[in-house]
A and B are shown apart, each in its own frame.
Chain A
Amino acid sequence: MQIDELRSVLTRLADEIEPFDGDARTLHRHERRRRVVTSSLVAVVIVVVVVGASAIALVRQRDEGTATVTASGSKEVSSAEISHVDIIVIPASPAVAHVLDSAPLVAHYAPVPRAVRLGAPLTPSGAAFCALERNDGFAVQASTPGPEIAQVLSRDLAGRATVYDVSDTLAHGDIELFLRVGASSRQVELVRAALKSDPAVSSFRYLTQADEYRIFKRIEAGNPALLRSVKPSDLPASFRIILKRGTSVETTARRYGHLEGVASFVTPRATFRASLFSPTSQPNLSLSACTKP
């Protein structure tokens, strides 16, 4: 899709919205009344600080990397039974499934339907998402974390399927908390202290603006004009947070989203998972960046 197309779509979407009836006379009347009220009253401002304590909801725990493999048993499960995705294998076929069933490093795998997916992570998962626009695939959970599974399966599946290592999606954590650009060191330390003392947090990592710029440069390596116009100080520092199993990502993210100095958050693993397992069924090539016309 081109910029001009985006502009015209936005205009069309705005036009589809039911018109708003503004009333300038009402506005003038309110403003006159406001002036009268403010001139005759002394306003007393009371600031109420609310400290909200959010309950942490426990969700159903899932098996993680503990599958026992039998020689004849299939490791194919539903997507709900996959706790995390380490690699994606494309295409899905009985021959590929047979290899996965017999590979000790594979704990489980679930079918991934062919579709166009929005909001795909950029790299290297983006390559897998592009391949999934043309073929069905399998999402594979390793029995042991590490790079070996991709190497072993690439060798075993040579010529039959392509293996995409998407474990990079795990590196972003359950929650990515973006700070405001210009957040003070006191605000950063307050967030850090809150994370340290939070029993729901398994671990976290602080990425400075310089760290974020290095990542930005890597992603945008092919766009020199953008790189020239964005400085490290333009990018927000962030905390990448991994939660303990059973912790509600959304509830925890919201809790931290309200801290002073925090601008926004994303939930990379949940987003990746939703995008992978709940895609559209109608590929729309006009939105795909994978196949250039």
Chain B
Amino acid sequence: MGALEFDEFYESFFDRVARALTLVGADRDLARDATQEAFARALRQWRKVREMDRPDGWVYVVAMNQLRDQRRRSERRRERSPTSGDGAVDNTSAVATRVSVRDAIALLPARQRQAVVLRYLADLPIADIADAMGCAAGTVKATLHQAMRSMRVELDDTEADDADR
């Protein structure tokens, strides 16, 4: 099983993955649980995961999917509650009260935010992000581009080509 090797991997990436999940809007408990579940799955399939080019990429993808599933479950719970508060599927209708990059990221719809964090924080290739988001690579590129436009980030042709990797 290579427990020691897995433990090193876990120690190196647990905190990073959980922080990335927090950046895409998860609260701490949700981020911790989703990350722990992703690592649990990695442990079950460690012989396969360890051979991947980016084992951490695999964990990011699983953790993001886990987060998405948990959010859907909590959304459904909130739907059943007549006193439900905020927590839209995305928060594009949120009001910009202060300009900062943090706000710019927070204002992105959930899928755009997820794509931005996976691409520019976790540094995952487009194909892995497409797996995480359950869509085609072209859709990821379009999503990233929309996010860049919303955040007023200059995305030149070089980056668009680079996104092919």
A264/B101 in contact, CB under 8 A: no
Q: Which of A15, A120, A224 contacts B157 (CB 8 A)?
A: A224
Who on chain B is nearest to A255 by CB? B79
Residue-wise, chain B 114-147 has the 8 Å CB interface mask toward A (1 for contact) of 0011001100000000000011111101100100
A280/B99 in contact, CB under 8 A: yes
Q: Which of A31, A230, A257, A263 contacts B44 (CB 8 A)?
A: A31
Q: Please tell me the number of chain B residues within 8 Å of chain A, measured between CB atoms.
A: 75
Bound: A264/B93 CA distance, A: 13
Does any Cβ of A come within 8 Å of B49's Cβ? no
Does any Cβ of A come within 8 Å of B149's Cβ? yes
A17/B153 in contact, CB under 8 A: no
Does any Cβ of A come within 8 Å of B48's Cβ? no
B36/A27 in contact, CB under 8 A: yes
Chain A residues 223 to 260 lying within 8 A of chain B, measured CB to CB, are 223-226, 229-231, 233-236, 250, 253-255, 257-258
Q: Which of A17, A19, A24, A236 contacts B23 (CB 8 A)?
A: A17
Residue-wise, chain B 36-66 has the 8 Å CB interface mask toward A (1 for contact) of 1001100110000000000000000000000
Who on chain B is nearest to A262 by CB? B89
Does any Cβ of B come within 8 Å of A106's Cβ? no
B92/A266 in contact, CB under 8 A: yes
- The interface of chain B, by Cβ under 8 A from chain A, is 3, 6-7, 10-11, 14-16, 18-20, 22-23, 28, 31-32, 35-36, 39-40, 43-44, 75-76, 79-80, 82, 88-90, 92-105, 107-111, 116-117, 120-121, 134-139, 141-142, 145, 149-155, 157, 159-161, 163-164
Between A and B, 17 residue pairs with Cβ closer than 8 Å are A1-B152, A6-B116, A17-B19, A20-B32, A24-B6, A27-B36, A52-B79, A181-B135, A223-B145, A225-B161, A234-B137, A253-B88, A264-B109, A267-B92, A270-B93, A279-B96, A287-B151
